[in-house]
Amino acid sequence: MSKKQEKEPELKGTLYSVLFIGTFILVTWFMAFYLFIDRF
Amino acid sequence: MTTVTEKAKGFIQVDKRDAKLALAHIYVAFIALFIGGLCGLLQVLVRSGQFTLPWGITYYQILTVHGVLLGLILTTYFIFGFQIAAVSRTAGTLTDKQRSIGWIGFWTMTAGTVAASIMVLLNEASVLYTFYAPLQAHWIFYVGMALVVVGSWIGGIAQIMKYVEWRKANPGQPSPLITFMVVVNLAMWIICSLGVAVEVVFQLIPWSLGWVDKIDVLLSRTLFWYFGHPLVYFWLLPAYMVWYVVIPKIIGGKIFSDALARLSFMLFLIFSIPVGFHHQLTEPGIDSFWKYLQVVLTMMVVIPSLLTAFSLFASFEIRGRELGAKGVFGWFKKLPWKDARFVVPFIGMAAFIPAGAGGIINASHQMNQIIHNTIWVTGHFHLTLATTVVLTFFGAAYWLIPHLTGRILTKQMNHLAIIQAIVWTVGMSIMSGAMHIVGLFGAPRRSDFSTYGGSEQAADWIPYQIAQAVGGTILFIGIILVLYIVAHLLWFAPKGKTEFPIGEVSEHAEKTPMVLENWKIWLTICILLILFAYTIPVIDMIQNAPPGSKGYKLW
Ligand SMILES: [Cu+2]
């Protein structure tokens, strides 16, 4: 293993991207959930 | 696309004899793509209501050809071609014995494929790719399917033997990442396909031969879906291998973390199998507690999926920042948007966001009723398999085939490959989008064109069926384009050396803990979870079995 660098890589964009996916999943899920509640 | 060929001197080349074995699989895969794709085109045309099949060919016959050739044959063969090449590239050339076993596997699978295909073409087996009882096919169809599975075990063992040999020669060291991933995928495949093998050998074959009159439908479907869900992950994990290991190299970056990649593969292994009930959520005869338990286990797959997303974004962002990207999302523009080897799989990754979200809805227990047996489901797996997986495989074929044939992907072909992916995206957005929407309105899947006795509701579906025909036709153009590129790479492209890209792990990454390669631990967890999720409900199913069913030929 090489010596670890002091500075961690900046991963802000990665964080926001993964949060976007999580939000997308939740939004679509709740859309389907309310459709379900509406119908059954 | 820069110096793919210039830098080629130092590349590690897959041995010619191994390349031949890998290519044999890839040939069959693309033949299956052509025939299966043509049947897909005919299907969407029939369902538009504007077209009838000639020469007494039936809808369910071409539907079976489409599903079997694309869902089972294209996938398994491409995956084996890719995996054999990947193992040979990273763990070393196969021994003569391993390679012979690989060929025995290939010919066993191919004999099975031919036997099953003939029965489908003779209209003796129009039972769709799920071959659900009580639809009853000719026994030769089932024997063919069994041979495909057994052949895949034999071919899989050849790959595993190479891995075992490597581990023995390099004690205490983590194996090459992609070889490790291949073995995880094969372990999952062997464990899950035992279920379908039991169904075929002990239920379907004796019943179709007339040795027994009746079949336990619930048990047969349970065995099928014990296999059927991990089957989806068997398709998906090779795409993940490309994303984790190959793509970082193509963009000029590094693998974010070897340990994270191995952990997510092991999580896929343990959470992909004990979850088949999420395909049987509307079925009577399974206690709702066990359905709930398997729904919970299904949702666990979100963890490795988001780990994967994180790892990929991190590779992209770190690389973009190395190239001088500024701001939160500046790195996105720095990615190699003119390189088909990146762009085509990238579209596949993007498609997995709506595909995964849809999958979570499907598996949400009671909510499954919104979409059950509607064409939404068809739209769903045309995003997962027919976009995410297939575009990643196409993107991989653009370097794998020329690597194996000693040719290069020319600039024009690279350009055409990107056009192909755009055509695919447009066609699939229209087709799969229409399927998702009209599925929510109740349009059924698997069914021939019908006005349902002039029903008003069914009339509302027809515009969407026409949209599916438009999308499906565009997709068929996409198939012609990819076959043209593949034919070029196989026989006509200029000779030269093409890299088999294998990424290196980032210097920031922690050392991989060996526990991630401890098979005793992970296989034990895997088997315990399967026993936990299935033992009691299966005993219940057998003790309180429904009356058996005789076979039906409804086509
Ligand atoms: Cu599933």
- The pLDDT tens digits of the residues spanning B534-549 come to 999 999 888 888 888 8
| Residue B324 Ramachandran class (φ > 0 left, ψ -120 to 50 alpha, else beta) | left
Contact flag B508-A16 (C-beta cutoff 8 Å): no
Q: In chain A, which residue's Cα lies nearest the Cα of B318? A: A9
pLDDT band for position B269 (cuts 50, 70, 90): very high
- The pLDDT tens digits of the residues spanning B146-165 come to 999 999 999 999 999 999 99
Q: Which of B352, B305, B285, B332 is nearest to B543 (CA)?
A: B285
Residue of B257, B313, B508 best to disrupt the A interface, most CBs of A under 10 A: B313
User: Which residue did the predictor score with more confidence, B7 or B246?
Assistant: B246
**Adjacent-strand bridge partners of B444:** B374
A–B: how many Cβ contacts below 8 A?
74
B56 CA distance to ligand 1 centroid (A)?
Answer: 34
Q: Which of B273, B290, B153 is nearest to B223 (CA)?
A: B273
Domain residue ranges in chain A:
16-40
Chain B CB within 8 Å of residue A35 CB? yes
* Cα separation, B532 vs B535, whole angstroms: 6
Residues of B in contact with A1 (CB under 8 A): 511
**Adjacent-strand bridge partners of B505:** B255
Contact flag B306-A11 (C-beta cutoff 8 Å): no
**What one-character DSSP code corresponds to residue A9?**
P
Q: What is the mean pLDDT of residues A10-30?
A: 90
Q: Which of B122, B116, B119, B197 is nearest to B153 (CA)?
A: B197
Chain B CB within 8 Å of residue A24 CB? yes
Q: What is the mean pLDDT of residues B115-144?
A: 90
The DSSP code sequence of B411-430 is HHHHHHHHHHHHHHHHHHHH
pLDDT band for position B421 (cuts 50, 70, 90): very high
Find tokens 């031949």 and name the residue: B20
At B509 the pLDDT is 77
Q: How far is CA B93 from CA B32, B84, B101, B134, B172, in A?
A: 28, 10, 14, 46, 21
Q: What is the mean pLDDT of residues A26-31?
A: 93
At A28 the pLDDT is 92
B393 CA distance to ligand 1 centroid (A)?
Answer: 21
Q: What is the mean pLDDT of residues A12-38?
A: 91
- B269 Cβ partners below 8 Å, 6+ apart? B184, B187, B188, B522, B526
Domains for chain B: give ranges and CATH numbers.
Answer: 12-215 (1.20.210.10), 233-250+252-318+518-541 (no CATH), 335-505 (1.20.210.10)
Q: What is the mean pLDDT of residues B36-40?
A: 92
Contact flag A39-B370 (C-beta cutoff 8 Å): yes
* Cα separation, B146 vs B368, whole angstroms: 31
Neighbours of B484 (CB within 10 A): 13
Helices B519-543 and B258-272: crossing angle in degrees, nearest 10, is: 20
For residues B151 and B193, the answer to whether their CB atoms sit within 8 Å is no
B277 CA distance to ligand 1 centroid (A)?
Answer: 8
At B8 the pLDDT is 43
* Cα separation, B7 vs B5, whole angstroms: 6
Longest dimension (CA), chain B: 71
At B292 the pLDDT is 93
pLDDT band for position B443 (cuts 50, 70, 90): confident
| φ, ψ at B549 (rounded to 5°) | -115, 145
- B421 Cβ partners below 8 Å, 6+ apart? B340, B343, B344, B347, B391, B394, B395
* Cα separation, B268 vs B298, whole angstroms: 10
| φ, ψ at B192 (rounded to 5°) | -80, -35
At B467 the pLDDT is 92
How many Cα atoms within 13 Å fall on the side-chain side of residue B35? 18
* Cα separation, B40 vs B473, whole angstroms: 9
At B57 the pLDDT is 83
Contact flag A35-B370 (C-beta cutoff 8 Å): yes
Residue of B256, B299, B370, B376 best to disrupt the A interface, most CBs of A under 10 A: B370
| Position B206, amino acid | P
Quick check: B296 pLDDT over 60?
yes
Nearest Cβ partner of B361 from A10, A11, A29?
A29
Q: What is the mean pLDDT of residues B36-48?
A: 90
Q: What angle do CA A30, A36, A39 make, to 5 degrees?
A: 145
Residue of A6, A17, A30 best to disrupt the B interface, most CBs of B under 10 A: A17
* Cα separation, B276 vs B155, whole angstroms: 25
Cα A21 versus chain centre, distance: 4
At B5 the pLDDT is 42
Q: How far is CA B231 from CA B191, B271, B322, B378, in A?
A: 11, 13, 38, 16
B10 in helix, strand or coil? helix
* Cα separation, B361 vs B295, whole angstroms: 11
Q: What is the mean pLDDT of residues B180-201?
A: 94
* Cα separation, B294 vs B416, whole angstroms: 44
Chain B CB within 8 Å of residue A6 CB? no
Residues of B in contact with A34 (CB under 8 A): none
Torsion sign, CA atoms B395, B400, B402, B408:
positive
The DSSP code sequence of B365-413 is GGGHHHHTTBHHHHHHHHHIIIIIIHHHHHHHHHHHHHHHHTB---HHH
pLDDT band for position A4 (cuts 50, 70, 90): very low
Chain B CB within 8 Å of residue A37 CB? no
pLDDT band for position B427 (cuts 50, 70, 90): very high
Work out the mean pLDDT of chain B and round it to a whole number.
Answer: 90
For residues B239 and B348, the answer to whether their CB atoms sit within 8 Å is yes
| Residue B237 Ramachandran class (φ > 0 left, ψ -120 to 50 alpha, else beta) | alpha
Contact flag A9-B317 (C-beta cutoff 8 Å): yes
* Cα separation, B196 vs B72, whole angstroms: 13
Burial letters B515-551, b for 16+ CB under 10 A, else e: ebbeeeebeeebeebbeebbeebbeebeeeeeebbeb
Nearest Cβ partner of B328 from A2, A13, A22?
A13
Q: How far is CA B360 from CA B347, B538, B552, B554, in A?
A: 20, 25, 34, 33
Stretch among B125-134, B184-193, B467-476 having the lowest mean pLDDT:
B125-134
Q: Which of B507, B512, B506 is nearest to B256 (CA)?
A: B506
Contact flag A28-B354 (C-beta cutoff 8 Å): yes
Q: In chain B, which residue's Cα lies nearest the Cα of A26? A: B357
Q: In chain A, which residue's Cα lies nearest the Cα of B303? A: A22
At B10 the pLDDT is 57
Nearest Cβ partner of A10 from B321, B357, B511?
B321
* Cα separation, B291 vs B313, whole angstroms: 34
How far A20 CA lies from chain B's nearest CA (Å)?
A: 10
- What's the ipTM? 0.84
* Two tokens, residue B167: 């581990």
At B172 the pLDDT is 86
Q: What is the pTM of this model?
A: 0.92
| Position B9, amino acid | K
List residues in chain B touching A: CB distance below 8 A: 302, 306, 309-310, 313-314, 316-318, 321, 328-332, 353-354, 356-358, 360-361, 364, 366-367, 369-370, 440, 507-508, 511
Residue numbers of B annotated as active site: 229, 233, 380-382, 445-446
| Position B144, amino acid | G
Quick check: B274 pLDDT over 50?
yes
Q: In chain A, which residue's Cα lies nearest the Cα of B316? A: A14
How far A38 CA lies from chain B's nearest CA (Å)?
A: 11
Residue of A8, A18, A30, A34 best to disrupt the B interface, most CBs of B under 10 A: A18
Q: What is the mean pLDDT of residues B53-79?
A: 90
In this prediction, what percent of chain B has a pLDDT beyond 90? 65
Q: How far is CA B254 from CA B249, B339, B448, B456, in A?
A: 6, 17, 49, 57
* Cα separation, B500 vs B156, whole angstroms: 21
At A7 the pLDDT is 66
Q: In chain B, which residue's Cα lies nearest the Cα of A22? A: B306
| φ, ψ at B495 (rounded to 5°) | -70, 150
Residues of B in contact with A21 (CB under 8 A): 306, 309, 353
Q: How far is CA B334 from CA B350, B421, B492, in A?
A: 17, 20, 33
Q: What is the mean pLDDT of residues A3-30?
A: 82
At B335 the pLDDT is 87
